[in-house]
Structure 1
Amino acid sequence: MRILWLAPWPHPRQATAHPVPWVGALAQLLRQQPGLSLTVLHWTPKITSEVEEFERDGIRFIYLKAPSVRVDILTLHRRRVALVKSYLQHHYQHYDLLHLHGSELQAPAMAAGLPVPMLLSVQGLVSQYPPYVPRSERWLKALWTLSGYYERRYLPAVQHFVCRTHWDQALMRQLSPGCTVHHNWEVIRPAFFRPISPLAASRLQVVFLGGMQVMKGFREVLAAVDLLRQQVDVTLVIAGQASAELVRVAVQAAGLRHLGPAAIECRGQLSAEELAQLFSESLCLLHPSYVDNSPNSVCEAQVAGLPVVASNVGGVRSLIEDEVTGLLCTLAPASIAQQALRLHQDPALRQRLATQAAAVARQRHDPAVIVARTLAIYEEVVADFCARS
């Protein structure tokens, strides 16, 4: 079977681009399947030719030269959508199935009307995000409102979706009435399944993987750790795009008096192995996002055995059973701090949550089951297309 993915896979020249571990991990497993060839199509302004193709690790990659981010926004994404749409119209016949990974980047608009079996894996649903955006992030709200327009207009034409949580399943049935919803979880990178020997605990630390993203709860985490430090000596480790200087400015702007520079460590983008080691040395993961579907960082932490404190939003409740496989909180810093403090003061609770979450998450993210389910879904989508043709 010849599979074409339309997926947010950064070009090798885009060193600072957001990684897509759940997409890459699945690709590495599928490429090993007999009788299956995988091609990934994406776009970037970083290449010099109109089209760049190469093969790496048994996967064929095709990149189209896209307009700059500024031009893309000024043209309301129409130029980029037309570029990819034109390529697909001239090449779709070389593939047995088109798999769209996410709808946030207008993939359904690019693939609209193609006479080919098509499947969309839901990641986030950007059309649902604007109501949750704080007033300070007006530009982000405008961008998501634009992307939400594309979702609402083109998702109804997609007949098959892969969903993960109660939240995205319910929304897809609203946005695309009569569609078929297939359930499957994301693949977690192998490093989180391996046992890690933690280094000697020299300090108490909590982890936040959202960089400085407001929607991931960056400001709430700072305020929560400021409260926490009034009771215990704890360090905040931030992974993702964050600089120590900008974090210091944010702390000062918020008037936080107990969170000095020595209490915050910015690690930048970490590999899976580095994250797994960090998890083994930490008290918990803090994930107080404003809205989320199936946050990969929560899943990775659970598989690795790190307790999670997360906000009860979107699809998070499909990942965390409160007091059983994690602790739910609100966006109030006091709520976040209180749950983290409980884990510190009650080692038995922390161990119980870690053990139970790991057991559930390792079964949920069993790679063999996910691959088998993916292949079965592909067959179902192709069979349904043939029956309708």
Structure 2
Amino acid sequence: MKILWLAAYPSPRITREHPVPWLVTLASLLSRHPRVQLTILNWNAQQEKPVQELEHEGIRFISLRVPGFRQDLFTLYQQRIGITARYLRQNAHRYDLLHLHGSELQFPAAAAGLDMPLLLSMQGLVSECVKCVPGLLSWRKVLWTLAGYYERKYLPLIPNFSCRTHWDAGHAARFNPKARIYHNWEALREPFFRAAHEPRAAPAGGRPVLLFMGGSQVMKGYQETLAAFDILRQTTDFKLVIAGGHYPNEVADAYRRYPLRHLRPDDVEYRGYQNAGQLARLCREAECLIHPSYLDNSPNSVCEAQVAGLPVVATNVGGVSSLIEDGETGLFAELSPESLAAKVLCLHHDPALRARLARQAQAVALARHDPATVLSRTFEIYQAVRYGLEISPLATASFSHSASLMPHDTLAPTSAN
């Protein structure tokens, strides 16, 4: 089966860690499938030729030259959408199925009107995320409002969705009540599965470590994490390790919002971007992951921490309750420093609870993200979309217009794998 992906997938010549690693992992799995020929289509504003192609590790990559950021925004993305749409109209007949990865980058607009089997994997919904952006006006709010316009206009035209959680499935059903909605989890990176079988590592310096993987992103709860840590440092000798990009203006904003009077220079360590092996190691050293996101679908950091055996304290937003059952496979906190600090202390003072949550979450996550299951379910969904075949009920479900209110185990039972 010849599959064309339209995805935010940089050229394989880029050697740094991929910003959407679940796509790299799934592409690698599919490239070894005997019945799949995978081509990935993406954009590049810097390339000289209108179209560039290359083969790499069993995958064909096609890159289209598009406008740079400023021109792209000035044209309201219409020029980039048009370039992509023209290429698809001229070449889509070469493929058996077009798989759009996400709706945030106007992929549905570029694919509108194509007469071919079409599948869209939900990632996040920018039209929902923009509602949670703090402040009256910001560049993020402007950009996400524009992207949200395209989501609302073109998602109702998508006939097939691949969803992960009760939250994205509910929104897919809301956008197009007649759509066929399939279920599949994301493919996770191999080092986290290795970490699942390794003993816990002692943190450097001996202090208990709390892990936050959101860099200095406001939407991931960076400010609330720092404020909760400030509360914790009044009574407990924790160290906070922050993975991900951090920017001086965002750090300064956190210190303006909260006093943070109890933090010493060596209490918070910014590690920057980490590869999968480094993150897996951090998961084995830390006492828990803090993930107080404003809105998320199925955050990779939570899934990877669970696979590696790290307990998670998170906010119950978006699709996170499809990943965590409060008190069984993690702990939910309110989006407030006081609530976060209380839940972390609950774990810290109860080693038996930490061990039980880690063990139970890991068992669920290992089955949920099993690479062979994710691969077979992906191919099964491709066959269903391409040929109209009936498939396992574990990879599909039907949703009412109010599906966003349905409990997650109705859509994605943990026994599915």
TM-score (norm 1): 0.95
Letter in 2 for 1:249: A
1:280 aligns with 2:284: yes
Identify the match of residue 388 of structure 2 among 355, 378, 384: 384
Instruction: Report SS of the residue matched to 1:291.
Output: coil
Instruction: Report SS of the residue matched to 2:266.
Output: helix
Letter in 1 for 2:329: T
Aligned twin of 1:270: 274
Q: Which digits, 9 at most, give the CA deviation of each residue in 1:317-343, with x for residues without a partner? A: 000000000001111111111111111
- Equivalenced residue count is 384
Change (3 A) 1:15 1:137: farther
Which blocks of at least 5 consecutive residues in structure 2 are unaligned? 390-417
Q: Which digits, 9 at most, give the CA deviation of each residue in 1:268-320, with x for residues without a partner? A: 11111111101000011111011111111100000110001110000000000
CA separation in 2, counterparts of 1:381 and 1:248? Answer: 46
Change (3 A) 1:327 1:155: same
Letter in 2 for 1:145: T
Instruction: Report SS of the residue matched to 2:324.
Output: coil
Instruction: Report SS of the residue matched to 1:382.
Output: helix
Residue 66 of structure 1 and its aligned partner are, at CA, apart by 1.7
Identify the match of residue 369 of structure 1 among 362, 370, 373: 373
CA separation in 2, counterparts of 1:181 and 1:219? Answer: 36
Aligned twin of 1:100: 100
Residue 134 of structure 1 and its aligned partner are, at CA, apart by 0.8
Q: Which digits, 9 at most, give the CA deviation of each residue in 1:160-218, with x for residues without a partner? A: 00011111111111111210000111111111111234433312111111111111111
Instruction: Report SS of the residue matched to 1:261.
Output: coil
Deviates more, 1:124-133 or 1:269-278: 124-133
CA separation in 1, counterparts of 2:136 and 2:347? Answer: 32
Letter in 1 for 2:252: V
1:31 aligns with 2:49: no
CA separation in 1, counterparts of 2:225 and 2:68? Answer: 33
Aligned twin of 1:208: 212
Q: Which digits, 9 at most, give the CA deviation of each residue in 1:6-25, with x for residues without a partner? A: 01112356677861111111
Do the aligned partners of 1:4 and 1:99 also contact (CA within 8 Å) in 2? Answer: yes
Do the aligned partners of 2:101 and 2:122 also contact (CA within 8 Å) in 1? Answer: yes
Instruction: Report SS of the residue matched to 1:155.
Output: helix
Residue 246 of structure 1 and its aligned partner are, at CA, apart by 5.3
Residue 49 of structure 1 and its aligned partner are, at CA, apart by 2.0
Aligned twin of 2:394: none
Which blocks of at least 5 consecutive residues in structure 1 are unaligned? none
Identify the match of residue 359 of structure 1 among 360, 363, 368: 363
CA separation in 1, counterparts of 2:56 and 2:263? Answer: 45
Deviates more, 1:339-348 or 1:376-385: 376-385
Instruction: Report SS of the residue matched to 1:76.
Output: coil
Instruction: Report SS of the residue matched to 1:48.
Output: coil
1:252 aligns with 2:252: no
Do the aligned partners of 1:196 and 1:277 also contact (CA within 8 Å) in 2? Answer: no
Letter in 2 for 1:279: C
Change (3 A) 1:17 1:52: farther
1:131 aligns with 2:131: yes
Instruction: Report SS of the residue matched to 2:3.
Output: strand
Letter in 2 for 1:363: A
CA separation in 1, counterparts of 2:250 and 2:135? Answer: 20
Identity %: 53
Instruction: Report SS of the residue matched to 2:151.
Output: helix
Aligned twin of 2:324: 320
Letter in 2 for 1:118: L
Q: Which digits, 9 at most, give the CA deviation of each residue in 1:238-290, with x for residues without a partner? A: 111115x5565345323211123311111111111111101000011111011
CA separation in 2, counterparts of 1:280 and 1:227? Answer: 24
Change (3 A) 1:51 1:31: same
Identify the match of residue 240 of structure 2 among 230, 236, 242: 236
Aligned twin of 1:54: 54
Change (3 A) 1:189 1:39: same
Letter in 2 for 1:330: E
CA separation in 2, counterparts of 1:24 and 1:292? Answer: 20
Deviates more, 1:228-237 or 1:96-105: 228-237
Instruction: Report SS of the residue matched to 2:177.
Output: coil
Do the aligned partners of 2:18 and 2:24 also contact (CA within 8 Å) in 1? Answer: no
Do the aligned partners of 1:248 and 1:261 also contact (CA within 8 Å) in 2? Answer: no
